[in-house]
Amino acid sequence: MSQSARQEFAFNKEDFERVRRTLYQKAGINLTDTKDSLVYSRLARRLRALSLNSFDDYLTYLKRTPEEDENFINALTTNLTSFFREAHHFDALANYLRTHPGQRTIWCSASSTGEEPYSIAMTVAEVFDSFDNPVSIIASDIDSQVLAKASAGIYSSEATTKLTPHQCKKFLHKGKGSQKGKVRVVPELRKNVSFRRINLMDVTWPIRGPIDVIFCRNVMIYFDKPTQLNILKRMVALLPDDGLYIAGHSENFNKDSQIVTPVGKTIYKPAREGRRYG
């Protein structure tokens, strides 16, 4: 296992083996040798959230803090992003856009390698039957490397299994020659997504409201509950009264009724009126 000079935290084979043993003990899941990069990227978020300096510190913390088990297991077992993951969210987005015509802004706050924001952009293009539409899409992530991949919009053909043949034809170009087996998002769709680096833990965000729909899916699990609620409050403050906050399948804010009100499966609206946009 090579140590990248660009990594924020030291991570070697011994660290990986300790993580692998711990996950097997706690969840019965056996990671393969090829999962070292996934382990680093997923658990590095927990190190940042907990202000820890090393994987050794984190594993010691995990051993002493049983309530961290769920975060540890979720971080390593949550599926990687894919096009139209949790498809009901995109159905809800389409319905929202049809009932709220006009200029709208959508923020995908954990865009990873781009499948989610491009799924949003495809949904928007289908609702308006045009790439030229009145919806602005902001896609952010803390990781500049995944943002670069997202901006390029190049994926393996296997990643497109949830797209219909019509969607593949309209939104993707097939690779040829050395790019055979890959697809690239068409430029007309790529230009509709603005990628930027945003750390949700920062005191201020380079983004202002109103934001009509916020996708914040499967990222809150990396934070403790007080941090989750702080971020949730800040995001909801950016929403208009009829805006939507869309969470991931592993995140539930139904009990946080002072902040949000559920309107669908992991879909929420602001609980109170009279917010100021950030």
Q: Is residue 248 part of a domain?
A: yes
How many domains in the chain? 2
Q: Are residues 130 and 18 in the same domain?
A: no
- 106 vs 274, more confident: 106
Of 40, 58, 77, the residue at which a domain comes to its end is 77
CATH code of the domain in which 17 resides: 1.10.155.10
| CB-based burial, 46-62: b 16+ in 10 Å, e otherwise | bbbbbebeebeebbeeb
Q: Is residue 245 part of a domain?
A: yes
Cα 202 to Cα 47, 145, 237: the distances in Å are 15, 19, 16
Q: Are residues 265 and 177 in the same domain?
A: yes
- Give the Cα separation of 269 and 256 in Å (integer): 12
Q: Are residues 154 and 188 in the same domain?
A: yes
Q: Are residues 66 and 102 in the same domain?
A: no
Q: Are residues 51 and 96 in the same domain?
A: no
Q: Is residue 224 part of a domain?
A: yes
46-63: average pLDDT: 96
Q: Are residues 106 and 67 in the same domain?
A: no
Task: Give CA torsion, residues 60, 64, 67, 71, to 10 deg.
Answer: 10
Q: Are residues 47 and 112 in the same domain?
A: no
Is 46 noted as a catalytic residue in this protein? no
- Show the DSSP H helices in 51-184 as ranges: 55-64, 69-77, 88-99, 115-128, 144-152, 165-171
Q: Is residue 1 part of a domain?
A: no
One-letter amino acid at 163 equals L
pLDDT band at 77 (very low <50, low <70, confident <90, very high): low
Arithmetic mean of pLDDT over the chain: 90
pLDDT digits (tens, 9 = 90+) for 90-115: 999 999 999 999 999 999 999 989 99
Q: Are residues 169 and 231 in the same domain?
A: yes
- Give the Cα separation of 112 and 82 in Å (integer): 10
In the numeric block, the tokens 């009932």 are attached to 99
Q: Is residue 5 part of a domain?
A: no
Question: What is the maximum span of the chain, computed from C-alpha positions, in angstroms?
Answer: 56
Kindly state the DSSP code that residue 80 receives in the 8-state scheme. Answer: P
Residue 99 tokens, joined: 């009932």
220-224: average pLDDT: 78
Kindly state the DSSP code that residue 51 receives in the 8-state scheme. Answer: T
pTM of this structure = 0.76
Q: Are residues 49 and 127 in the same domain?
A: no
Q: What percent of the chain has pLDDT over 70?
A: 94
- CA atoms within 13 A of residue 196's CA, in its CB half-sphere: 10
Asked if pLDDT for residue 4 goes beyond 80, the answer is no
- CA atoms within 13 A of residue 229's CA, in its CB half-sphere: 8
Range of the domain at 19: 13-77
pLDDT band at 274 (very low <50, low <70, confident <90, very high): very low
pLDDT of residue 278: 60
Is 91 noted as a catalytic residue in this protein? no
Q: What percent of the chain has pLDDT over 90?
A: 69
> Which residues sit opposite 138 in a β-bridge?
107, 194
Cα 77 to Cα 64, 72, 198, 224: the distances in Å are 21, 9, 24, 18
One-letter amino acid at 201 equals M
Q: Are residues 50 and 105 in the same domain?
A: no
Q: Are residues 159 and 34 in the same domain?
A: no
pLDDT digits (tens, 9 = 90+) for 131-168: 999 999 999 988 787 899 999 999 999 889 899 999 99
Catalytic residue among 15, 141, 143, 212: 141
Catalytic residue among 20, 42, 104, 190: 42
Question: Residue 53 in 3-state DSSP?
Answer: coil
Instruction: At 50, give phi and psi (nearest 5°).
Output: -95, 0
Q: Are residues 33 and 150 in the same domain?
A: no
> Which residues sit opposite 66 in a β-bridge?
none
pLDDT digits (tens, 9 = 90+) for 13-44: 999 999 999 988 887 677 878 888 889 999 99
